Structure 1
Amino acid sequence: METVEKIQQMKDNPKVSGCFFWGYQKDEKFIHKQIRIEGIAEKLSNEECEEYHNKDPLFCQIRSHICQQGQKVDWDELKKKHDEILEAVKETNKPLKMPEYYVAYRIIPNMFDFYYSYNTNIADRLAFTKQCEDKWTFERIAA
């Protein structure tokens, strides 16, 4: 959906980042991990979008039909639309086609930052930076 503010921002400035954190307890250790990615957002072709859409589970495909990202919704109305589409797919046994407004982006990375720590130990952090097309360097950096 090309009218979403996030997509307009990526068109204006394709430099993006993503950060993924997960913390958990294993035995007596509290473990914290994080990966940060920086790079350039690139819109996927319609063919690539269709490939992703077709691999998605049915509930994700239905969601792409009923949810206009960022729009306010009436949950009961959304649930009703979901159930109608689900019933139609079950009755016809035909795959659900990708909506015309479906868009997806990939991040072409130029930096990865990996963070790891547990309990009160000093954290370990590695940064990988792309130097040219096929060369990456890495260094250990302070957490």
Structure 2
Amino acid sequence: MTLQEISDDGGIIFYTYLNSLKAKQIEENPQVSVSFLFLYTNETSNKKITQQVRMKGRIETMRTCCNAKIFEKQPLYAKIRTVIIAEQGVPVAWEELKKKHDRVLAKVNKGEMEFKVPKQFVLYKIIPARYDFYYFNENEIGDRIFFSKSEDDKWDHGHLTA
């Protein structure tokens, strides 16, 4: 998953390819959970800090009109990958794949090739229903706060045991 944008309604927008295992799993079950972990040392106190954000919700496919805008922002290696890989996550002869990559890269560098949004490029948006924010540092009790969307579309919140 490559995070692309956070939408105005708080959803997370990312892309993948229809030929990926991720896309197949989303089709089977549109309920998702994503976690972001942040580990760092506070420069002032020199304490080790752990923060995690977990988001749960449902996922939906976005309209294809947005695909070109997101695809254009992708780095060159990601665009080349759309041309040389037929299916993600399968065994590959590395040297052959490298040769394909180098041929496409040479064409691009010579101005002989431009990229169009591939058919398998798909944008998804996670619609949040719950957030958990976890904060912990050395020698202190952890703090876990949740925000959960109620049936009347309002956000409830509170503390949970960490």
Corresponding residue number in structure 1 for 2:47:
29
RMSD after superposition: 2.1
Distance in 2 (CA, whole Å) between partners of 1:132 and 1:48 is: 30
Q: Is 1:126 matched up with 2:145?
A: yes
When you count helix as a share of all residues, which structure comes out higher?
1
- TM-score normalised per structure 2: 0.77
Change (3 A) 1:140 1:93: farther
Return structure 1 stretches of 4+ with deviation > 6 angstroms. Answer: none
The structure 2 residue matched to 1:8, chosen from 1, 6, 24, is 24
Which structure 2 residue ranges, 5 or more long, are not aligned? 1-16
Question: What's the CA shift for 1:86?
Answer: 1.8
- TM-score normalised per structure 1: 0.86
Corresponding residue number in structure 2 for 1:61:
79
Which structure 1 residue ranges, 5 or more long, are not aligned? none
- Is the Cα–Cα contact under 8 Å of residues 19 and 120 in structure 2 kept in the other structure? no
User: Percent identity among equivalent residues?
Assistant: 37
Question: What's the CA shift for 1:14?
Answer: 0.8
Change (3 A) 1:97 1:31: same
Change (3 A) 1:76 1:32: same
Corresponding residue number in structure 1 for 2:68:
50
Distance in 2 (CA, whole Å) between partners of 1:72 and 1:35 is: 33
- Is the Cα–Cα contact under 8 Å of residues 135 and 143 in structure 2 kept in the other structure? yes
